[in-house]
Amino acid sequence: MTITRALHFSLVLAAFGVLAAPPNLAQAQVEETTLSARAVALGTGVRASAASTSALAQNPANLSLTRVYHLEGTTTYEPGVGRFAFGTAIVDSSSSRLGAGLSFRGLVGGDDTAYGGLDFRGGLSLPVSDALGIGVSVRYVSLPGVMPDGTQVNYAKGLTMDAALRATLIPNLHVAVLGSNLIDRHSALVPVRVGGSASYTIADTLTLGLDAMFNLSQNVPGAPLLIGAGVEWLSGNAVPIRVGYAYDELTRTHYFTGGLGYIDQSVGIDLSIRQALSGENATYLMLGIRYFYDASGGSQTGVQQGL
């Protein structure tokens, strides 16, 4: 990373802050480590086609899928518990053959089960060929908190990692094999999941995707399935419209997801919602703002920017 790019990263950290609030433990069904509004809007993320900052948390093999240098700041709001969250991420796949990304969140909690802490992530991806990519990411979490009875606890602490392999079978048809949080932290906030994803993009405007992830955490019996599907339409090469669905077998919770955005040569703005349709009435809102830096001096639009 050049000095200029490191400076850009520092400025983004200052601009978007270092605070974030994870969900109540009782609401921690769908993976809460998504770093992009696109992933929130598309069910469980349409991970096979995740690129840019979405790839950092969803599919590290895709950090090298597109040639980008993106900075993103995010904020989330949960109306049911009145919580806000702020975070930042950087992804660079234009400086070298490797794709790389970093993210940071500082966590602050509230309500009876207040907890805070830190969440760092770094990922690397190697394009083995135009049709095959592999990637890994390492994550450190520390989420201390207080139980309703005043007992001090740590809901999750330590290192974990993700791994992924993505194959492009034909142009715009991606399949991926995925593992997340493979070092078990024995926490509902950091579940061990393995599975796969497939997505297909038509004419660089319509993307269809399906994800299926099994929960293999040692304290969860039966390997319950988390399944999701999403559709993304890029209208006028500038306005992504997204809708999705997810179901968590462990908690028997259904989710509706959706989002809108705007994208041009230098900036992307995305607003997404996830609403639980059963179980707890949990609403999750996320806003993401990305800055696109093109080291080649050219221009990129639409899917090329890593929607």
33 — pLDDT class (breaks 50, 70, 90)? low
Q: What is the mean pLDDT of residues 196-204?
A: 96
Residue 115 per-residue DSSP state: B
Which tens digits make up the pLDDT trace of 51-97? 999 999 899 999 999 889 999 998 887 777 666 778 899 999 998 88
Q: What is the spatial distance between Cα 57 and Cα 48, in angstroms, rounded to a whole number?
A: 12
Q: What is the spatial distance between Cα 297 and Cα 295, in angstroms, rounded to a whole number?
A: 6
Answer for the pair 185, 139: CB distance below 8 angstroms, yes or no.
no
Rounded percentage of the chain residues whose pLDDT exceeds 90: 58
109 — pLDDT class (breaks 50, 70, 90)? low
DSSP string, 188-226: TTS--EEEEEEEEEETTTEEEEEEEEEE--TTSTT--EE
297 — pLDDT class (breaks 50, 70, 90)? very low
Residue 21: exposure state from Cβ atoms within 10 A (0-12, 13-18, ≥19): buried
Q: What is the spatial distance between Cα 66 and Cα 275, in angstroms, rounded to a whole number?
A: 30
Residue 20: what pLDDT?
Answer: 34
Q: What is the mean pLDDT of residues 152-178?
A: 94
Residue 251: what pLDDT?
Answer: 87
Residue 129: exposure state from Cβ atoms within 10 A (0-12, 13-18, ≥19): exposed
- In the numeric block, the tokens 């770094």 are attached to 122
Q: Collect all residues with Cβ–Cβ distance below 8 Å to 160 and sequence separation of at least 6.
A: 138, 139, 141, 181, 182, 183, 184, 185, 190
Backbone conformation region of residue 185, classed left if phi is above 0, alpha if psi is from -120 to 50, else beta: alpha
Residue 166 predicted with pLDDT over 60? yes
Mean pLDDT of the chain: 83
Residue 305 predicted with pLDDT over 90? no
Q: What is the spatial distance between Cα 220 and Cα 269, in angstroms, rounded to a whole number?
A: 37
Which homologous superfamily is 3-305 in? Outer membrane protein transport protein (OMPP1/FadL/TodX) (2.40.160.60)
111 — pLDDT class (breaks 50, 70, 90)? low
Answer for the pair 75, 84: CB distance below 8 angstroms, yes or no.
yes
